[in-house]
Amino acid sequence: MSNIHGKAYAMNAISPMKPWKTWIVRAVFFLMRYFPSATRNLVNLSFIHFARWVIVRRDAFPRLSAQLPKDNLKYDYLLFFSNFNGTWNQYIDAFSAVLSWGLNTIWHWSEKFPGAVPVTPLKNYITQGQFETDYYYTAYPHATTNDVKAAHRVQAAFDELAAAADKPADEFEKAYRRFLVRVQGDLGATGELPVGTE
Amino acid sequence: MSKLDSTDVQGFALRGYNFPLARFLFLRIPNARNGREFIARLVEHVETGELWVEGKPHTTVSVAFTYAGMAVLDLPQASLQTFPVEFVQGMKARAGILGDTGKNAPDRWDDVWRQNPVHAWLGVYAQSAPELEEKCGEIKALAEATDGAQVIGSQEAAALVIDGKISRKEHFGYTDGFGNPDYQGVNRDTQPGQGKLSPDGKSWLPLATGELLLGYADEAGELPAAPVPHLLARNGTFMVYRKLHQNVAAFRTYMREKGELYPGGEKKLKAKFVGRWPDGTPLELSPNHEDPAVVADKNKNVNFTYANDLDGARCPFSAHIRRANPRDAFGFTGRLANRRRIARRGITYGAYAPDSEPVDDAERGVIFMALNASIFRQFEFVQQQWIEYGNDARQGNDKDALLGNHEGAGKFMIQGSEDAANPPFLCARLPNFVELRGGDYFFMPSITTLRMIAAGTVDPR
Amino acid sequence: MPNQSGGVYGLTILSPIKQDPHLKISHSLAIRMYLQRLPQDRRSPFARVSSTHMARLVVMDDVVYVGSPACEEHLQAQYLVFESNFDGDLDTYLRQMVREAPKEVDAVWQHCDGYPGLADPGQFVRYMKRCQIETTFYFADVNDKTVQQTLRALQTQSAVAAFIEKNQGRPAAELQKAFLGVARALRNAPAPNPGNAIGREFADE
């Protein structure tokens, strides 16, 4: 399944927008950059390693060959690329259930977007606009974004403990106990994705 | 608000039968004509969802069909094609998805599940052994008279009798049967904590009816995907049947050995694996000791959230009840868990092995049955993503401590605190405490649908 | 700078794919067939372009028609989409691609209009930038850790779990000695390889 590498899923989606609406979407993203509380729910969902939205204006599809006729497009296009964990259904279910406001704010302006709720018409729209990844690489395939964040927390705690490791043994033991409590929730094993995940 | 016609729903879908005895019959249907005749006569015996006004009946009968069974009954092809793909494939074909590998793999299942597909499941519950025999005898007589069904296997089940009394315990010694979901319109003994959290997180509301029954709005604000036509689907539900063998010897040995090392002691260790003490007290409500008053109080014994336990020091992240029903553990007032709830109907099988005696390896365990509108979105999701995998619980690939298919590897991290009686503690090299011995996916039709199927009048459009 | 989030850069490149109606195997199909066979693990060319967290190559055939009353329209060319999430700046990254994965870059981009080859890295960089589309909004869950830092942290995480299992209940002096051993082993461990599974290398320390 070329959309998946390790525990990550590479989703690509495209939707058309009437050019006058593109400015609204640009404004939405501008606000999202300067009001980080807007992305807080995204961080708390903790499904996504990296995601991006790319607006391609109707006259801006790259053209390098003189022989190629110019595009004659009516719409601007909103491209969406996500690197996420979990199944395709789970991902969209979650967004529809808890981030519908965000989905609507961004995609309301795409032609024939049905709204983020209920979820089945949303899934049908996404299926229509999604296109397959041909090659996908991840540097840490057996780790989800949860695993990565946990690992960084463990590394930080470990470095602190290692810095204190030459104390007398009973002091070290106390520091080790505190270390255990600090990392106890972050020690899940990494490994393979569950099979047949949809 | 949904209007529920409970006399059309099979009673088994609406409430658990706390009867002391049960027998599950697995049937093959030889052909459509005779099969329909059998169903036409059987439906008179099937227990509906109507409330019992004159006390409990002596027996109840429930029926459900696999896809293979629906196909033999000659439903129109166009209707058969509208059943969801996981139901069409059946549980055996989905073994990879469910993590049913190694000790849980289909090649180790009971014969009846390994060989030719079961067409129908019949659940007969009874108050006494003679009544059970009598009712099963009536059904067998129907099957023979119509030549419409053949019993190819059966499973005895019974509540455990401990010290001469009927118990709610299962074979590992935990009191079971808490926490069935609360659905809108379904009249049952509800308790706070069984439904979903209200938007302000302060109280509990029933789940949308469509999470259990087809034809009603679900938690996503739409009708769940259902077979066509409405007459086929309405008031029906899907049932997952899994026979779970319990390795009582391995369980007791592991708990005793690790219990000696765990500073909280063996009983607390057992509590950490499940999220409830053996008597049923939830760890969230009483982290240090059992509390019979809480267990006895309907308003308390399932009424808790994880909001004050985000580090897992009371109930570990991989404890069974926290994995199977995370409530608000993932934030968002529990909204990520509302569409993953299942109604459970469980009953033990096999002889109780008292603590004081060494355990033999006789057949004993739990018959696990789950009811939901969508096997894929509900049961399969929980099994694949929350039991056999741990990313949503932020535990990577670590499995449900009690149910996980560990195969001697894997680990269970018990989160704790600086309290010496509740330290962080790692349990490694987990055995399979539970093994799957078979089962399948069934469709439990409404009474109307049963009559339509019997009459052969299901038309796709 | 919208292409950047913290230390991570979100690169989006749309390279128009050559069109030649006389070919039995079109350029876009050739790209797809090549990519099907390209390894994804530590043998991936992107494992050598080692600042790459995640990257994908996608042949985008056309825009989408969403149904009436929207209008149907089509692109003149198909596009090779290259989406990458990496540490550091763009120029360094593109030059690293030339240095570490010239064979693969050539095999893929030779099918695209205007590809100048890799003889002059500067020209390649300019060519790629001509096809770059600015990222409108970029989200990175973790944007302040490099690939190496992440791989090392995963290694440490695995070692710590193994350590706890092995040393649970040990008296203080032995515990400390064992810990110093693991800390030393981790410090001296070779840099973990990107694209690989993190194993239990320290299970026996």
Q: Is A133 exposed, middle or buried (0-12, 13-18, 19+ CB in 10 A)?
A: buried
pLDDT in tens, B134-182: 999 999 999 999 999 999 999 999 999 999 999 999 999 999 988 799 9
Q: Does any domain span residue C138?
A: no
CA distance C104 to chain A (A): 12
- The count of domains in chain B is 1
Position B194 in a domain: no
How many helices, marked H, and strands, marked E, lie in chain A? 7, 5
> What's the pLDDT at C201?
44
Task: Give CA angle at B180 (B174, B183), nearest 5°.
Answer: 175
Task: Point out the domain boundary residue: A72, A100, A129.
Answer: A129
Domain assignment present for residue A134? The answer is no
Instruction: Give phi and psi for B217, each to the nearest 5.
Output: -60, 140
**Which pLDDT belongs to residue C200?**
44
CA dist B136 → A118, A125, C92 (Å): 45, 51, 78
Give chain B's count of helices (H) and strands (E).
15, 14
Identity of the amino acid at B216: Y
Query: How does pLDDT run across C132-177, given as a tens digit for each residue?
Result: 999 999 999 999 999 999 999 999 999 999 999 999 999 999 999 9
Output the 3-class SS for A141-158: CCCCHHHHHHHHHHHHHH
Whether residues A135 and C173 touch (CB distance < 8 A) is answered with no
- Report yes or no: B389 at the C interface, CB cutoff 8 Å: no
In chain C, which residues have their Cβ closer than 8 Å to the Cβ of A185?
A: none
DSSP string, B352-374: ---TTS-------EEEEEEEES-
Predicted local distance difference test score (pLDDT) of residue C204 = 38
What is the pTM (predicted TM-score) of this model? 0.96
Per-residue pLDDT band at C203 (split at 50, 70, 90): very low
Q: Please give the residue that has the higher pLDDT: either B51 or B109.
A: B109
Chain B contact partners (≥3 CB pairs within 8 A) = A, C
C64: in domain? yes
Residue B380 located in a structural domain: yes
Give how far the C-alpha of residue B336 lies from the chain's centroid of Cα atoms, to the nearest Å: 20
Tell me which residue has tokens 């088994």: B12
Q: Which one of C66, C84, C97, C130 makes the best mutation probe of the A interface by having the most chain A beta carbons within 10 Å?
A: C66
Our CA-based measurement puts residue C43 at a distance from the nearest CA of chain B, in whole angstroms, of 25
Residue linked to tokens 């099988």: B349
Tens of pLDDT, residues C49-95? 999 999 999 999 999 999 999 999 999 999 999 999 999 999 999 99
Instruction: Confirm whether B302 is domain-assigned.
Output: yes
**3-state SS of chain C: helix, strand, coil percent to 5?**
40, 20, 40
A66 and A122 housed in the same domain: yes
Are A98 and A158 in the same domain? no
Rounded to a whole number of angstroms, the distance from the CA of B133 to the nearest CA of chain A is: 43
What is the span of the domain harbouring residue A154?
143-198
Q: Which two tokens stand for residue B27?
A: 């049937």
| Helical H segments across B196-333, by residue range | 230-233, 248-261, 266-274, 292-296, 320-324
Q: How far is CA B314 from the centre of its chain?
A: 25
What's the rounded Cα separation, in Å, for the pair B341 and C183? 44
Mean pLDDT, residues B258-266: 96
A93 and chain B in contact, CB less than 8 A = yes
Q: Are residues C27 and C123 in the same domain?
A: yes
Which residues, in sequence order, are CB contacts of B400 under 8 Å at separation 6+? B318, B320, B323, B324, B386, B387, B388
Residue B30 pLDDT level (bands cut at 50, 70, 90): very high
Mean pLDDT of B87-103: 97
Taking each helix axis as running N to C, give the angle between helix C102-109 and helix C27-37, from 0 to 180 degrees, rounded to the nearest 10: 150
Residue written as tokens 């539900």?
B237
Give the CA angle between residues B315, B318, B321 to the nearest 5°: 65
Residue pair B453/B74 in contact (Cβ under 8 Å)? The answer is: no
So what's the pLDDT on residue A196?
Answer: 80
Q: How far is B423 from chain A (nearest CA, A)?
A: 8
Residues A49 and A13 in one domain: yes
Do A121 and A153 fall into the same domain?
no
**C170 to chain B: nearest residue by CA?**
B261
- B323 neighbors B426 (Cβ within 8 angstroms): no
CATH number of the domain to which A79 belongs: 3.30.70
pLDDT bin (cut points 50, 70, 90) of residue B324 is: very high
**How far is Cα B114 from Cα C31, in angstroms, rounded to an integer?**
45
Residue C134 phi, psi dihedral angles, 5° rounding: -70, 135
Q: What is the pLDDT of residue C198?
A: 55
Residue C139 placed within a domain: no
- Per-residue model confidence (pLDDT) at position C197: 63
With bands split at pLDDT 50, 70 and 90, how would you rate the model's confidence at C110? very high
- Residue B178: its pLDDT value, please? 87
Residue at A67: amino acid letter: Q
Task: Identify whether residues C125 and C38 lie together within a single domain.
Answer: yes
Chain B residues in contact with A191 (beta carbon < 8 A): 396-397
Query: Domain for residue C157, yes or no?
Result: yes
pLDDT at B3 over 90: no
A25 shares a domain with A109: yes
Across the interface, whether the CB atoms of A189 and B99 are under 8 A apart is answered no
- pLDDT band, very low/low/confident/very high, at B2 (cuts 50, 70, 90): low
Given A72, A107, A129, which residue is the final one in a domain? A129
Give the structural domain span for C59: 4-130
The set of residues, in sequence order, having a beta carbon less than 8 Å from that of B214 and lying 6+ positions away, is B223, B224, B226, B227, B233, B234, B235, B236, B237, B373
Q: Is residue B373 in some structural domain?
A: yes
Q: Do the strands A76-84 and A8-17 form a parallel or antiparallel pair, or are they unpaired?
A: antiparallel
> What is the separation, in whole angstroms, between the first and last Cα of chain B?
28
Residues A92 and A188 grouped into a single domain: no
Number of domains in chain C: 2
Alpha-carbon torsion angle B205, B211, B215, B216, nearest 10 = 20
A104 and A41 fall within a common domain = yes
Q: Residue range B386-415: average pLDDT?
A: 97
Structure tokens at B92: 């055996």
Give, in order, the Cα–Cα distances in Å from B256 to each of B19, B249, B262, B356, B433. 33, 11, 10, 13, 14
The residues, any chain, with a CB within 8 Å of residue B134's CB and separated by 6 or more, are B59
Tokens of B460: 């796709």
Amino acid at B234: R
Residue C205: band (very low, low, confident or very high) from pLDDT cuts 50, 70, 90: very low
Answer yes or no: do C165 and B411 touch at CB < 8 A: yes
Domain annotation covers residue C137: no
Residue A198 lies in a domain: yes
Start-end of H helices in chain C: 27-37, 45-48, 90-100, 102-109, 121-130, 147-167, 172-188
For residues C29 and C120, state if they share a domain.
yes
A144 touches chain B (CB under 8 A): yes
**Does a structural domain hold residue C200?**
yes
Kindly state whether C197 is in contact with chain B, defined as any CB-CB distance less than 8 angstroms.
no
Look at residue C136 and tell me if it is in a domain.
no
Nearest to C14 by CA among C101, C79, C108, C86: C79
Residue B398 DSSP label: P
Q: CA A138 to CA A82: how far, in whole Å?
A: 13
- Point out the domain boundary residue: C130, C155, C187: C130
3-state secondary structure of B63: strand
CA C140, B336, A6 angle in degrees (round to 5)?
Answer: 45
Closest C-alpha to C160, from A153, B392, B309: A153
CA distances from B73 to A78, B201, B457 (A): 50, 47, 11
Distance CA(B289)–CA(B281), nearest Å, equals 8
- Structural domain includes residue A138: no
Task: For residue A139, give the nearest of C137, C147, C173 by CB distance.
Answer: C147
Over chain A (198 residues), what is each successive 10-residue block's mean pLDDT? Answer: 92 98 94 80 90 96 92 96 96 94 95 96 97 97 97 98 91 95 97 85
A17 and A115 co-located in one domain? yes
Q: For residues B38 and A65, which has the higher predicted lDDT (pLDDT)?
A: B38
* Packed helices A145-163 and C147-167: angle between N→C axes, nearest 10 degrees: 70
Same domain, A19 and A79: yes
Amino acid letter, B200: D
User: Is residue B150 included in any domain, yes or no?
Assistant: no
Give the pLDDT confidence score for residue B382 in this predicted structure.
Answer: 98
Taking the CA atoms of residue B305, residue B311, residue B313 and residue B318 in that order, the dihedral angle to the nearest 10 degrees is 80
Task: Quickly list DSSP for B75-112.
Answer: --HHHHTTS-HHHHH-TGGGHHHHT--GGGSGGGS-HH
Averaged over B377-406, what is the pLDDT?
A: 98
Residue scoring higher pLDDT (C204 or B444): B444
Do the strands C52-60 and A4-5 form a parallel or antiparallel pair, or are they unpaired?
Answer: unpaired
Contacts of C164 in chain B (CB under 8 A): 426
User: Does B221 sit within 8 Å of A197, measured CB to CB?
Assistant: no
User: Does B352 score more than 60 pLDDT?
Assistant: yes
Domain membership of residue A157 (yes or no) is yes
pLDDT at B361: 83
Nearest to C153 among A48, A135, A155 (CB): A155
Q: Are residues A75 and A171 in the same domain?
A: no
Task: Check residue B245 and report its DSSP letter.
Answer: E
pLDDT in tens, B47-69: 999 988 888 999 999 999 999 99
Token pair for B198: 């209200």
- Assigned domain for A16 exists: yes
CATH number at residue C72: 3.30.70
Query: Do C115 and C203 lie in a common domain?
Result: no
In a domain, B410, yes or no: yes
Residue C124 CA to residue C43 CA, distance in Å, equals 23
Residue A33 and residue A84 in one domain? yes
- Look at the block and give the residue holding tokens 């553990």: B329
Please choose, from the candidates B236, B187, B191, the residue with its C-alpha nearest in 3D space to the C-alpha of residue B15. Answer: B187
The three-class DSSP label of residue B21 is strand
Name A81's bridge partners. A12, A52
Per-residue pLDDT, C202: 42
C17 within some domain: yes
Q: Say yes or no to pLDDT of B189 above 90.
A: no
How many CB pairs below 8 Å do chains A and B form together?
107
The residue in chain C having the minimum alpha-carbon distance to the alpha carbon of residue A41 is C141
CB contact at 8 A, B381 and B343: no
| Same domain, yes or no: A62 and A151 | no
Residue in chain A closest to B385 (alpha carbons) equals A194
pLDDT computed for residue C1 by the predictor:
64
* Neighbour count for residue A103 (Cβ, 10 Å): 17
B317 touching chain A per CB within 8 A = yes
Which residue matches tokens 């599809």? Answer: A61
Report chain B's mean pLDDT, rounded to a whole number. Answer: 95
- Residue B319: inside a domain: yes
Per-residue pLDDT band at B368 (split at 50, 70, 90): very high
Closest CA to C147 of C32, C27, C44, C28: C44
Q: Which of C130, C156, C171 is the last residue of a domain?
A: C130
Find, among B319, B173, B180, the residue nearest to B246 by Cα.
B173
